[in-house]
Amino acid sequence: MTVATVTKSNKSAKGTITLNGSKSIANRALIIRALCMQDFPIHKLSNSKDTVLMDSLLKSHSDIRDAGAAGTTFRFMTAYLSMQQGTQVLTGTERMKQRPIGVLVDALRKLGAKIDYLEKEGYPPLKIHSPDPDSYRGGHSNQLTISAGTSSQYISALLMIAPTLPNGLELILEGEIVSRPYIEMTLNLMAHFSVLHQWDGNTIKVSNQKYQPRPFTVEADWSGASYFYAIAAFADEVDLQLDGLFEESVQGDSVLVEMMEHFGIQSTFNETGVKLTKVDKDLPPVFEWDFIKCPDLAQTIAVICGGLGVQGLFTGLKTLRIKETDRIAALQTELAKVQVYLSALPKRFSPKSDKEYFMVDGKAVVDSNPNFPTYEDHRMAMAFAPLAQLGQINVEEPEVVGKSYPMFWKDINKLGFEIS
């Protein structure tokens, strides 16, 4: 097992970082290019492991395609392959085989897909055959109802293949919509390539249309930016430029700008990205946020609250249990090592709401060289790394960051972090 010792001799955050491209945007652009049936350039494509893998799988002619630990890649490839000719097996890691896929498979079967489970019902690996010929002749209904409370990736996967279906798709989202900005991101990218939609209430309609090839530039990743905002939050002096971010972003995680104002971090956009500075203000006694639209920020903000001793009141964490790991359980275990506690609040806290609330309590004490496992989860490694400003820490399996941000350790080294 590899272990990285991470230290920082001062609490200054000064420099310029060019952030990696968003894998969420890049993976959608790659699927659309494959559906476009005509090549076009994608500039600043993410070099994340997930995106490199997606590109490779789309170009592969193998009968067995391994998506590894990449959940987005697996879900998007399931929808893409379900409407292609031939038979392929789509598989992944042991953890991937524990992540449900049944909601998406059931939906695709209604559209004419022929998909078999090779092991446990409702879970990978899958054997995906050529679709029912009727699906090409418009013999299947174009109306689907899908739970909106599971994963937005299922919805995005269906939407991207929608214009290629003979009758298009009328997608009815049932219940509370999880991670709505990711659905909006998908639709915005589809619109960039000339595919239009109608979204009325809980129904999204996409007619049969053709994607039009156009050059595309991938925006930097706001989730990746969050770790530098955390570094800024723990620093005494901040003059930090993050290049590649857009002020008018399609990413839901761009709400980070608003969030971090509560912790005294000011964002000023310029020609190449955003400049972070620190303003003198009192920290809030309680930071309250609903993460339903930005779940990938929850780990970072939990660590920020703990590091600063700000009580956090979080809701909208329901999808965190089915990510690369159970992120709620992982946060509870690891934060406790620095005397910070993440606890589920009893239902009586909000008796009139279906929302589940969690509280972050305590101020981090980093004085015993804590060892943080990463649970095969890139975000656990990057969310906890900024704590090294408060004392030396160890991060297990640090290479896990390659999933979304291969240059992470080199980039924080530019800001004075030492990794050995």
Contact between 199 and 177 under an 8 Å Cβ cutoff? The reply is no
Contact between 312 and 286 under an 8 Å Cβ cutoff? The reply is yes
Cα-Cα-Cα-Cα dihedral sign, residues 76, 78, 83, 88: positive
Show the CA angle centred on residue 32, arms to residues 255 and 126, nearest 5°.
95
DSSP code, position 275: E
3-state SS assignment for residue 402: helix
- Reply yes or no on whether 296 is catalytic: yes
> Kind and range of the H or E element at 49?
helix 49-59
Give me the DSSP letters along 95-151.
TGGGS--HHHHHHHHHTT-EEEESSSTTSS-EEEEPPPHHHHTT-S--EEEEETTS-
Structure tokens at 399: 């290479």
DSSP code, position 93: -
* Active-site residue (options: 66, 296, 377, 411): 296
Helix locations, 111-173, DSSP H: 133-136, 152-161
Structure tokens at 240: 């930090």
Structure tokens at 380: 């656990």
For tokens 């609040």, name the residue: 345
Q: Which of 312, 410, 303, 403 is nearest to 360 (CA)?
A: 312
For tokens 């970082």, name the residue: 17
Q: Which residues are catalytic?
A: 296
